[in-house]
């Protein structure tokens, strides 16, 4: 009997990586999505297609927000590094040897976490399709088939945001709303948050995301105000480098729970945040953690430190969102739910069957691999020339 699923000679031959292809796509959004440092009216992705020796194709996706403003990677850089360095490093290797592939990718290029995540997702998708199992099964098995999902309010227009939230509540799609703040002056942000809190009181919960916009002094003034409004969680109020400020703010009376995002890209970052007692929860993203295995490694450190897990997103299509759900479904506890509403904010999706949202939850797709299929017509339609 073979030691593992991937040790049989025939399966190993089937899983040899024959080719890796990357494509940049730009998909319009239904409204402007405004962050503290940028805003977008179209979402850009790199789609990675990995073809195996058996003819099976796996697909992965890497997202960014407005170019290299959220992290150092842009879709243009991702594609260039995939084509020139990452793809040649793994072509001819066995797709099922995920850790060995990860080592080769790390040797070929430093960081480039989003590009590596798209490749690794495509590998899990291809291997899962080959053996007839969902990616979650290859990661230990799912413990849930649906996850509570929030919606982000990010137009900056309070009246529009209240109307948008009302529609989501009426359709029973979302009852937790994350509000992007930090683009305006702090007093204007607090006024906007108070208006939303009053309008949705008793019917919805709010999370605030400052996207690193404040310094420690401003955060110390604003965080208690947010707590008084009933805001459940505040994401990355200060710059990523300032873990000390996060810890000091968290220790102050009246501070709501803090969510670490940009300050945690790998398990070492997570360990530093845990050691400093700087966060109550961590936002997990494939593009930050270099793939599904990286997400699990960061989550393991957080769990060991008693830090909650939150499923973060970068407005992925159903392709990228499905990959996130595959790994999120394997966590024993995901107390803060997830924010993979991305497919709903696009004017069109990239999957033949988009993800299913119902009763304030997003459902784990049931098919093999990541569970969704790339629509080739949509890929051609939105591909950047």
Show which residues are catalytic. 180, 339
215 DSSP assignment: -
Centre a 10 Å sphere on the Cβ of residue 19 and count the other Cβ atoms it contains. Answer: 12
Q: Using CA atoms, how far apart are residues 54 and 58, in angstroms rounded to an integer?
A: 12
Q: Using CA atoms, how far apart are residues 30 and 44, in angstroms rounded to an integer?
A: 14
E strand intervals along the chain: 17-34, 39-52, 57-64, 146-148, 151-153, 176-180, 205-209, 233-235, 258-260, 281-284, 308-311, 357-358, 361-363
The contacts of residue 21 (CB under 8 Å, 6+ apart) are 48, 49, 50, 51
> C-alpha angle 15/18/23, rounded to 5°?
115
Sheet of strand 357-358, all strands in order from the earlier edge strand to the far edge: 146-148, 361-363, 357-358
Residue 376 CB-density burial (10 A; 0-12 exposed, 13-18 middle, 19+ buried): exposed
Instruction: For residue 313, give the nearest of 330, 328, 303, 298 by alpha carbon.
Output: 328
183 contacts 222 by C-beta, under 8 angstroms: no
Phi, psi torsion values for 50, nearest 5 degrees: -110, 125
Q: Using CA atoms, how far apart are residues 321 and 332, in angstroms rounded to an integer?
A: 19
Instruction: For residue 339, give the nearest of 353, 325, 356, 359 by alpha carbon.
Output: 325
């Amino acid at each position: 009997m073979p030691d593992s699923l991937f040790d049989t000679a025939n399966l190993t031959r089937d899983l040899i990586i024959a080719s890796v292809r990357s494509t940049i796509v730009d998909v319009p959004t239904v409204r402007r999505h405004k962050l503290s440092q940028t805003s977008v009216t179209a979402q850009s992705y790199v789609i990675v297609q990995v073809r195996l020796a058996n003819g099976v194709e796996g697909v992965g996706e890497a997202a960014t927000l407005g170019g290299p403003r959220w992290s150092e990677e842009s879709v243009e850089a991702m594609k260039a590094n995939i084509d020139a360095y990452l793809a040649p490093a793994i072509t001819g290797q066995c797709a099922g040897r995920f850790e060995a592939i990860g080592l080769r990718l790390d040797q070929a290029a430093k960081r480039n976490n989003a590009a590596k995540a798209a490749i690794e997702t495509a590998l899990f998708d291809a291997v899962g399709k080959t053996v007839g199992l969902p990616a979650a099964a290859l990661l230990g098995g799912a413990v849930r088939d649906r996850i509570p999902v929030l919606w982000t309010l990010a137009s900056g227009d309070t009246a529009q945001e209240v109307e948008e939230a009302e529609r989501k509540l009426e359709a029973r799609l979302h009852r937790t709303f994350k509000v992007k703040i930090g683009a305006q002056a702090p007093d204007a942000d607090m006024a906007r948050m108070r208006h939303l809190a009053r309008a949705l009181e008793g019917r919805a919960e709010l999370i605030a995301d400052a996207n690193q916009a404040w310094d420690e002094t401003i955060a110390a003034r604003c965080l208690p105000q947010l707590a008084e409004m009933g805001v459940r969680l505040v994401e990355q109020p200060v710059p990523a480098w300032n873990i000390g400020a996060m810890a000091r703010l968290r220790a102050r009376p009246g501070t709501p729970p803090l969510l670490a995002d940009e300050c945690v890209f790998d398990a070492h970052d997570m360990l530093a945040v845990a050691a400093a007692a700087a966060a109550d929860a961590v936002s997990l993203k494939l593009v930050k953690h270099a793939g599904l295995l990286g997400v699990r490694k960061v989550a393991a450190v957080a769990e060991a430190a008693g830090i909650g897990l939150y499923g973060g997103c970068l407005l992925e299509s159903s392709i990228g969102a499905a990959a996130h759900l595959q790994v999120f479904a394997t966590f024993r506890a995901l107390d803060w739910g997830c924010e993979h509403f991305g497919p709903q904010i696009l004017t069109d999706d990239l999957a033949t069957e988009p993800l299913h949202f119902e009763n304030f939850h997003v459902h784990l797709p049931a098919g093999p691999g990541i569970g969704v299929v790339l629509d080739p017509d949509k890929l051609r339609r939105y591909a950047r020339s």
